[in-house]
Amino acid sequence: MCGRLAQIRAEQKYLASLAIQGQLLLPPSAEPINRYNVAPHSRIGLLRRMAQGYLWAPERWRWLPAWAEKPVRNDFNATREKVATSPFYRQVWPHRALLCVDGWYEWCPVEGQKTKQPYYIRRQDSEPLFLPAVGQFSEPDQEPKPDDGFRIITADSEGGMLDVHDRRPVVFDAVSARTWISDISLDEAGHMLHEQALPVDAFHWYAVGREVGNYRNEGASLIEPLTSASS
């Protein structure tokens, strides 16, 4: 599902790992972001391609079409199975972006306990995670519209990760991530989501403290493992 993220390292570090080729509209910060507990509906740094170059800017992690009559249970993720074809996403599907993070959290039921156990999930090699996203965005010199925002794209989980959650974000390596925000066709973008997502064995996950369940909590202690047991 992916309902909480960690965006820790500096913009410069993410962009260096991505090896993006092209002009950056704003100079990237060298200061670590150090956000260990990013919740949906908050703003988070997002990279997108524009006519003049690439822009890293804070965008709201949620999106609903202006015509939506009812709230939905999940307005911050889009499923890989529907994002390219459903009329619901038609207006944002052409507007691709990239979320650069260090990891995400999932909550797993524990037999005999009312409170779920949170897990932190990152890459085995500790490289950044590049999450494909789609959204509605205003121009940099304009005030954001009330319905601006984005959703990250999720897929069915598999393998051992099913023990933690049945959904996970699609994650690209740097090469695929650069392609995602290039000028490829919409059909090519749809194929990428199914064919170029990193496999489950690229990730490492472990139980962390329940403090992460409160979005007001912050700090590196949130990603410290509870035990040495992990995937």
Q: Which residues pair with 206 in a beta bridge?
A: 120, 230
What does the H/E/C string look like for 153-217? EEEECCHHHHHCCCEEECCECHHHHHHHCCCCCHHHHHHHHHHCCCCHHHEEEEEECHHHHCCCC
Averaged pLDDT, groups of 10, the chain, 231 residues long? 90 95 91 97 96 94 86 87 94 97 93 89 97 93 87 79 70 97 96 94 94 95 79 48
In a domain, 156, yes or no: yes
* Residue of 2, 11, 59, 100 with catalytic role: 2
* Exposure letters 11-31 (e unless 16+ CB within 10 A, then b): bebbbebbebeeeeeeebeee
Residue 198 CA to residue 129 CA, distance in Å, equals 10
Contact 206, 225 (CB under 8 A): yes
In a domain, 212, yes or no: no
| 100 catalytic per annotation | no
Q: Between the CA atoms of 214, 219, 222 and 228, what dihedral angle is there, to the nearest 10 degrees?
A: -170
Contact 43, 60 (CB under 8 A): yes
Reported as type and span, the H/E element at residue 46 is strand 43-50
User: What's residue 1's pLDDT?
Assistant: 61
User: What's residue 83's pLDDT?
Assistant: 96
H helices of 6-120, in order, are: 11-18
* Residue of 31, 69, 106, 108 with catalytic role: 106
**In this predicted model, what pLDDT tens digit does every residue of 25-36 receive, in sequence order?**
999 999 999 999
In a domain, 113, yes or no: no
In a domain, 22, yes or no: yes
Residue 5 CA to residue 120 CA, distance in Å, equals 9
In a domain, 116, yes or no: no
Q: For residue 31, what are its two tokens?
A: 């200061």
Q: Which domain holds residue 179?
A: 5-107+128-201
User: What's residue 50's pLDDT?
Assistant: 92
Per the structure, the count of domains in the chain is: 1
Residue 53 CA to residue 31 CA, distance in Å, equals 22
Phi and psi for 124 in degrees, rounded to 5? -55, -40
In a domain, 112, yes or no: no
In a domain, 208, yes or no: no
In a domain, 229, yes or no: no
Residue 138 CA to residue 141 CA, distance in Å, equals 8
Residue 204 CA to residue 211 CA, distance in Å, equals 20
The CATH number of the domain holding residue 60 is 3.90.1680.10
User: What's residue 229's pLDDT?
Assistant: 46
**In this predicted model, what pLDDT tens digit does every residue of 81-102 receive, in sequence order?**
999 999 999 999 999 999 999 9
User: What's residue 162's pLDDT?
Assistant: 53
Contact 208, 188 (CB under 8 A): no
